Structure 1
């Protein structure tokens, strides 16, 4: 994929959107169905034609673009701390996953079955969510590094919420793969915020 700030911003928006939904779900127990379905679709979209096509179009990542804009304008805000932590965690896990071709092969095969399930049940059906969460648990959760999700104990202890969170983290890692393919690096987050902000604002005007 050709490097461009536009594609980097789209991928970051995908990560940010998943991270924000993880935060909201862990703290309130509330799941935005459209955001979750966008995440699931990104996992099973194996042949996207563009960066935005991974998520089903720019409109599908509008919430993520808005959150990304807020973070780029004030990345030191305490209100963004958990979101940033989840995004950075996804970047770390994606880098480790990329080195494990054996794990990637397993994930690819199992996601094909998820795709078949989605055709029958839809993206947010409990069977689909459980299957995606199981893939995450059996593969990425085995890595020494793990993303620690903070929130209300009563919500985090619910199996359904836990499965939804794992699915969203999985999708954030998928978006991190796109971010790497688009030329994204951690240095961009530190030294090129103005360029990413400009690209994000342009995308928001079109979303």
Structure 2
């Protein structure tokens, strides 16, 4: 197995897991809790020895691998098109962020501050989610490029849901950054889709 492709597939699965949680929250008012914990936890894994360490283990990325496979596959529907748009927007935002070292430092410092709340409450506690949402709002949200999240108003207007969406978008940026660091490039999302899907499906089969 191509290690470079493996690392890129894992990082993309992290990205697509984050946007899947955004989509679930916006359209259903809730999301899967195990993938949420893996996604939020990835923000605090700042010195991994290998790509998978960011997410803990392959099982924690199962939702992201499934969504990645669907979004890049031939049977993608409206929901998949929506999630793909979120993912591409996050890749674009991460490119902007990469050119803003001061903002990167600010995000890193504030995530370290949020770590104290994690130690006390756990990764998915509302206090932690709101803290991470505030980081996204004060930094990434100031870019001219905006991510318009589509869903049902009754869900989007709930403060905890809005906070969860922003926290997951921040985690999506983290995975987009990781993807770039392991050699991911935007053109590959067009020309290497088939290889990525095959690799994601092979990873899923290994979990059966």
TM-score, structure 1 as length reference: 0.95
Moved more, 67-76 or 165-174: 67-76
For structure 2, which runs of at least 5 residues remain unmatched after alignment? none
Deviation at residue 75 of structure 1 after TM alignment: 6.4
Contact preservation (8 Å) 1:114, 1:131? yes
Partner of 1:124: helix, strand, or coil? coil
Aligned to 1:97: 97
Aligned to 1:131: 131
Partner of 1:147: helix, strand, or coil? coil
- Equivalenced residues, count: 206
Deviation at residue 76 of structure 1 after TM alignment: 4.9
1:33 aligns with 2:33: yes
The structure-2 alpha-carbon separation of the partners of 1:91 and 1:3, relative to structure 1 and needing over 3 Å to count, comes to farther
Aligned to 2:48: 48
The CA distance in 1 between the partners of 2:154 and 2:11, in whole Å, is 32
Listed as ranges, the matches of 1:116-155 within 5 Å are 116-155=116-155
Contact preservation (8 Å) 1:3, 1:182? no
Aligned to 2:19: 19
Aligned to 1:9: 9
Aligned to 2:115: 115
Listed as ranges, the matches of 1:65-84 within 5 Å are 65-74=65-74, 76-84=76-84
TM-score, structure 2 as length reference: 0.95
Contact preservation (8 Å) 2:110, 2:135? yes
Aligned to 1:160: 160
The structure-2 alpha-carbon separation of the partners of 1:55 and 1:199, relative to structure 1 and needing over 3 Å to count, comes to same
For structure 1, which runs of at least 5 residues remain unmatched after alignment? none
The CA distance in 2 between the partners of 1:94 and 1:75, in whole Å, is 28
The Cα offsets for residues 116-168 of structure 1, whole Å up to 9 and x where unpaired, read as 21011101111111110001111110111111100001111111100000000
Contact preservation (8 Å) 2:30, 2:161? no
